Amino acid sequence: MKRLAILLLALALPCAAAATDYTVQPTASTLGFSGTFQGESFDGRFGQWTAAISYDAANLASSKFDVEVTLASAKTGDSDRDGALPGTDFFDTAKFPKAHFVTTGFRRTGTQVIADGNLILRGVTRPVSLAVTFKPQGSGATLDVSGTVRRLDFGVGGGEYADTSVIGADVKIDAHLQLAAR
């Protein structure tokens, strides 16, 4: 009787599938941001970052994103802005060289997958949610994520730069990752 109970319990447990681990193909991947300055939109990119991606669309509970960004690698194409971003008024890269995002879970909202996680920027940790689009392709995949952060929540552009009529409050984050299965 005991053996039968153990067998039934084993059959009743769902098969816990592990998410596939992926390696980011850096030359085909981008991590970008966009904002506004004096009413004009601008785009930027981070040139240095790493991402550990484990993903299974059928079993989101086993999925995880862990992204670390070198903040001094931010470039917008405007020399004044690019020179200001690493400074103490914005990223303060001397004190806080990296930003770090780690998922805490995934959820579905209709057909959209949302990655919930914590972003650490300038020593401040806040929850951030990102929309996820995952498309398998052969032995790899593409992964697109997007979301919005409020820069002042992290102390980015505070002080004399806190005026959101000059520098917009919201910064959009977008990434396009080309992934290869490990």
pLDDT digits (tens, 9 = 90+) for 122-171: 999 999 999 999 999 999 999 999 999 999 999 999 888 999 999 999 99
Look-up: residue for tokens 């890269």?
93
Identify each DSSP E strand in 16-60 by its residue range.
Answer: 20-24, 30-37, 40-46, 49-55
Residue 168 is assigned to a structural domain of this protein: yes
Q: What pLDDT sits at residue 11?
A: 39
User: Predicted confidence band at 18 (pLDDT cuts at 50, 70, 90)?
Assistant: confident
Q: Which residue has the higher pLDDT, 122 or 16?
A: 122
- What is the Cα–Cα distance from 148 to 174, expressed in whole angstroms? 9
Do residues 176 and 30 lie in contact, with contact meaning Cβ atoms separated by under 8 Å? yes
**What is the residue whose two structure tokens read 């904002």?**
35
Residue 76: which residues within 8 A CB-CB, separation 6 or more? Answer: 42, 43, 44, 82, 85
Give a yes or no: residue 52 inside a domain: yes
- Residue pair 101/131 in contact by the 8 Å Cβ criterion: no
Nearest-angstrom CA–CA distance, 23 and 42? 29
10 Å CB burial of residue 94 (0-12, 13-18, 19+) is exposed
Q: Is residue 75 part of a domain?
A: yes
Q: Convert the pLDDT of each residue in 102-125 to its tens digit.
A: 999 999 999 999 999 999 999 999
Q: Which tokens sit at 85?
A: 């971003």
Confidence class of residue 4 from pLDDT cuts 50, 70 and 90? very low
Residue 9 lies in a domain: no
Looking at residue 158, its pLDDT comes to 86
Q: What is the pLDDT of residue 17?
A: 62
Query: pLDDT tens digit string along 60-111?
Result: 999 999 999 999 999 999 999 999 999 999 999 999 999 999 999 999 999 9
pLDDT of residue 111: 94
What is the rounded distance in angstroms from the CA atom of residue 159 to the CA atom of residue 29? 34
Residue 13 is assigned to a structural domain of this protein? no
pTM value is 0.89
Domain interval for residue 169: 19-181
The count of domains in the chain is 1
For residue 13, pLDDT beyond 80: no
- Band the pLDDT of 6: cuts 50, 70, 90: very low
Higher pLDDT, 12 or 115: 115
| SS3 sequence of 102-151 | EEEEEEEECCEEEEEEEEEECCEEEEEEEEEEEEEECCEEEEEEEEEEEH
Domain with residue 42: its CATH number is 2.40.128.110
Per-residue model confidence (pLDDT) at position 15: 44
Decide if 172 is inside a domain: yes
Return the SS3 of 36: strand
- For the ranges 2-6, 94-98, 174-178, the lowest mean pLDDT is seen at 2-6
Asked whether residue 1 is domain-assigned, the answer is: no
CB-based contact 68:98 (threshold 8 Å):
yes
- Is residue 154 included in any domain, yes or no? yes
DSSP-derived letter for residue 56 is -
